[in-house]
Structure 1
Amino acid sequence: MRDLTAVVYALQALSLVFGLTLIAGVIVNYLKRPEVAGTWLESHFDWQIRTFWWLLLWGVLGLASAIVFVGLLILLGAAIWFVYRVVRGWIALNDRRPIGPH
């Protein structure tokens, strides 16, 4: 399951170029979530799922307010935050550590 978790991080990273891979990743998370319950990988699945939903929220808010300049700042902030979460999660996975709730 560790390899599958890495695949989801890769799908998240690829979504910066091919947006639909983010959706594929979260589908994998939800389908395989029961198999990681109670393991250190569960924290990564939760992290990846939360990343998806928060990015979706910030993306919608950013697009809705893009008429004014603040929307572009929201989208930029969301993109930076997303990259941070993917990198931080992937590093923790590589170190075989659970990821924190931050």
Structure 2
Amino acid sequence: MTDPELIPTGRTSHRYTEDPLWKVVVAVYLLQALAIPTSGLMAVAGVIINYLKQDEARNSPLEPHFRWQIRTFWIGLLWGVIGTVTTFLLIGWFILLGLAIWYIYRVVRGALALNDGRAP
């Protein structure tokens, strides 16, 4: 019988759902997923939550997810600014397209790793 809280993957995994911060990590992944249609506004809310809860996550199995989410935000912001500033050179549009693909990859990879009970 499979556990409804964790999709089996054949790997040994942690029971993250028992950690009280699990819901915070899930919420931030959802906010990051909503960042593209909201022009990054939800990502700002997500990173604020990450920084507010970061001390509680220290030395927990969910700490790598917090780091992953924070890095995703800051690297995305950096390349978003570079892409926006260079749009008049045409290269900026390609940077923004690459950023969107990279950002979606990071959010999906992190969320799947959380579901599998492992670090991203």
User: Does 1:80 find its partner at 2:101?
Assistant: yes
The match for 2:42 among 10, 21, 31 is: 21
Q: Is 1:4 the counterpart of 2:24 in the alignment?
A: yes
Q: How many residues align?
A: 99
Once the two structures are TM-superposed, the CA of residue 79 in structure 1 deviates from its matched residue by: 0.5
Deviation at 1:39, TM superposition (A): 1.3
What's the TM-score once normalised by structure 2's chain length?
0.80
**Bigger CA radius of gyration:** 2
Query: 2:80 — aligned with what?
Result: 59
What TM-score results when the alignment is normalised by the length of structure 1?
Answer: 0.94
Q: Distance in 2 between matches of 1:7 and 1:44?
A: 12
Q: CA offsets, 1:70-99, max 9 Å, x none?
A: 100000000000000000000000111112
Verify: 1:48 aligned to 2:58, yes or no. no
CA distance in 2 between counterparts of 1:69 and 1:27 reads 32
Q: Equivalent of 2:118, from 76, 97, 101?
A: 97
- In structure 2, the gaps of 5 or more residues are 1-20
Q: Which runs of 4+ in 1 moved over 3 A?
A: none
**Matched residue type, 1:44:** H
State the Cα deviation string for residues 26-78 of structure 1 (Å, max 9, x = none).
Answer: 00000000111011211000000000000000000001110111100000000
Whole-Å separation in 2 of the counterparts to 1:60 and 1:42: 27
More helix per residue: 1 or 2? Answer: 1
